[in-house]
């Protein structure tokens, strides 16, 4: 099968992060076994009790540096879909593209690696080829955390410091670094009542001074050299604020209001110190505090042999950084790691998501070259 054939089969799986991905994992397991991989599976239930699955696999000997490919099978929700010729779960090829949710982020990439492994199915591997597919990358990366905690195959990768590729969309450019992430939630609890009675307690009142402090932090992060790294674009942590209020009427005092703060730290920045500062601010204003997510920036020195070899493989002059994050934020034990995959991040999460057929063909060819170089 070609990459596009695999992709046509995977797009119809509606693997939104809130739903189970077990069916698509079953299909991947079937294909990987057929291609000669030994597989290991991790099943777990998320916080809502939904069954999730990660699959780890190896082809070739269990030792040696080799090559590891990482991907995820979940996709973002479809709140709207603007492509008129087909729906989000119906793959359609048109104008040199294939449309469908997950086509770019990142089922297209994993299909390129499957097709590459199939093209070299008869090759004798001298070092291992690994294929790891996680769940829930789009909602805090708990699948990757399960792999780190429970996978024997992942331990092999760490022990050998295997060359590792995160196949997220980079237009097949080499990304040696991306930002991390910290997400916190501060919640104010009030008491609902008719606003005319004076008996209520509006939760938003306690939130106001806290928001003022978060505004100061935002301005600090945008202006202070401590929070600036010109290797990235944008060069600041891009602190974002989301405010949610459960109120349903203008004449009701709000019983609950929350502020979610998300910022993207870069290598060497004191993200944990900032989280502790925000926690102290929340508690001083009588708010409940919760750390929702913590991800480490990915950074591999662009002068390392692995990055230089990837550049040679792709005939590119230099590697670059990106502002978005990947499961690499969790795979922090890996020293030879880069982000390298087909598709453009600008097409990810859109309401007409697509990937170019040329990117699929080129991704398949480059992944074949990588397997040949490091495993055969």
| Predicted pLDDT of residue 107 | 98
| 223 burial type by CB count under 10 A (0-12 exposed, 13-18 middle, 19+ buried) | exposed
Please indicate, yes or no, whether the overall pTM of this predicted structure exceeds 0.85: yes
Alpha-carbon span 72 to 149, nearest angstrom: 17
| Predicted pLDDT of residue 147 | 98
- Whether residue 284 is found in the same domain as residue 337: no
Report residue 270's pLDDT band, with 50, 70 and 90 as the boundaries: very high
Q: Tell me how many domains the chain contains.
A: 2
- Strands (DSSP E) contained in 105-227 are 129-134, 163-166, 175-178, 181-189
| Predicted pLDDT of residue 312 | 97
Residue of 274, 293, 295, 162 lying closest to 227 (CA atoms)? 274
- Number of neighbouring beta carbons within 10 Å of residue 149: 10
| Predicted pLDDT of residue 113 | 98
List the domain range (segments joined by +) for residue 209. Answer: 181-295
- Whether residue 156 is found in the same domain as residue 210: no
pLDDT of residue 326 exceeding 90: yes
Residues 6+ apart with CB under 8 A from 175: 319, 320, 321, 322, 338, 339, 340
| Predicted pLDDT of residue 247 | 83
| Predicted pLDDT of residue 63 | 85
Contact of 157 with 164, CB cutoff 8 Å: yes
Q: Which two tokens stand for residue 300?
A: 């591999």
- Whether residue 35 is found in the same domain as residue 120: yes
| Predicted pLDDT of residue 133 | 98
Q: Tens of pLDDT along 329-353?
A: 999 999 999 999 999 999 999 999 9
Q: What is the mean pLDDT of residues 123-148?
A: 96
Residue 192 is part of a domain; what is its CATH number? 3.30.70.360
Residue of 2, 41, 37 lying closest to 21 (CA atoms)? 41
Domain-terminating residue out of 295, 316, 338: 295
| Predicted pLDDT of residue 249 | 87
- Whether residue 37 is found in the same domain as residue 27: yes
Alpha-carbon span 131 to 181, nearest angstrom: 25
| Predicted pLDDT of residue 146 | 98
Q: Tens of pLDDT along 233-249?
A: 999 999 999 999 988 88
- Whether residue 170 is found in the same domain as residue 186: no
3-state secondary structure of 218: helix
Residues 6+ apart with CB under 8 A from 304: 336
| Predicted pLDDT of residue 162 | 97
- Whether residue 264 is found in the same domain as residue 218: yes
- Whether residue 291 is found in the same domain as residue 301: no
- Whether residue 245 is found in the same domain as residue 265: yes
- Whether residue 203 is found in the same domain as residue 287: yes
- Whether residue 156 is found in the same domain as residue 256: no
Domain-terminating residue out of 241, 271, 295: 295
The mean of the pLDDT values for the chain is 96
CA 331-293-22 angle, to 5 degrees, is 65
- Whether residue 70 is found in the same domain as residue 151: yes
- Whether residue 11 is found in the same domain as residue 138: yes
CA 77-342-296 angle, to 5 degrees, is 65
Contact of 60 with 160, CB cutoff 8 Å: no
| Predicted pLDDT of residue 246 | 82
Residue of 54, 50, 47 lying closest to 26 (CA atoms)? 54
| Predicted pLDDT of residue 248 | 81
Residues 6+ apart with CB under 8 A from 223: none
Q: Tens of pLDDT along 63-119?
A: 889 999 999 999 999 999 999 999 999 999 999 999 999 999 999 999 999 999 999
Residue 50 is part of a domain; what is its CATH number? 3.40.630.10
Alpha-carbon span 236 to 343, nearest angstrom: 25
Domain-terminating residue out of 295, 330, 349: 295
């Amino acid at each position: 099968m070609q990459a596009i054939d695999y992709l046509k089969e995977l797009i119809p799986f509606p693997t939104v992060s809130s739903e189970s991905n077990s069916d698509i994992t079953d299909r991947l397991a079937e294909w990987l076994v057929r291609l000669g991989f030994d597989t290991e599976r991790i099943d777990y239930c998320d916080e809502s009790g939904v069954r999730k699955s990660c699959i780890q696999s190896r082809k070739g000997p269990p030792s040696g540096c080799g090559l590891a490919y990482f991907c995820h099978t979940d996709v973002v929700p479809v709140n709207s879909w603007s492509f008129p010729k087909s729906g989000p779960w119906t793959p359609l090829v048109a104008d040199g593209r294939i449309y469908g949710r997950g086509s770019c982020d990142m089922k297209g990439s994993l299909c390129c690696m499957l097709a590459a492994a199939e093209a070299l199915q008869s090759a004798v591997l001298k070092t291992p080829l690994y294929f790891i597919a996680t769940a829930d990358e789009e909602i805090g990366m708990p699948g990757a955390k399960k792999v780190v905690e429970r996978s024997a195959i992942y331990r092999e990768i760490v022990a050998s410091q295997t060359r590792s590729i995160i196949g997220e969309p980079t237009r097949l450019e080499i990304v040696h670094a991306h930002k991390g992430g910290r997400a916190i939630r501060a919640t104010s609890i009030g008491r609902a009542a008719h606003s005319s009675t004076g008996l209520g307690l509006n939760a938003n009142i306690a939130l106001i001074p806290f928001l003022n402090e978060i505004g100061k932090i935002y301005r600090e992060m945008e202006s202070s050299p401590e929070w600036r790294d010109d290797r990235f674009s944008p060069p600041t942590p891009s602190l974002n604020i989301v405010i949610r209020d459960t109120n349903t009427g203008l004449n009701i005092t709000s019983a609950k209001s929350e502020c979610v703060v998300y910022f993207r730290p870069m290598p060497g920045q004191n993200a944990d110190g900032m989280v502790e500062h925000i926690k102290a601010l929340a508690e001083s204003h009588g708010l409940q505090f919760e750390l929702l997510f913590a991800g480490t920036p990915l950074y591999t020195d662009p002068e390392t042999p692995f990055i230089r070899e990837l550049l040679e493989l792709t005939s590119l002059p230099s590697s670059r950084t990106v502002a978005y994050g990947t499961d690499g934020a969790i795979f922090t034990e890996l020293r030879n790691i880069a982000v390298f995959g087909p598709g453009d991040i600008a097409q990810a999460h859109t309401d007409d998501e697509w990937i170019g057929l040329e990117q699929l063909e080129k991704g398949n060819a480059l992944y074949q070259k990588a397997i040949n170089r490091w495993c055969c």
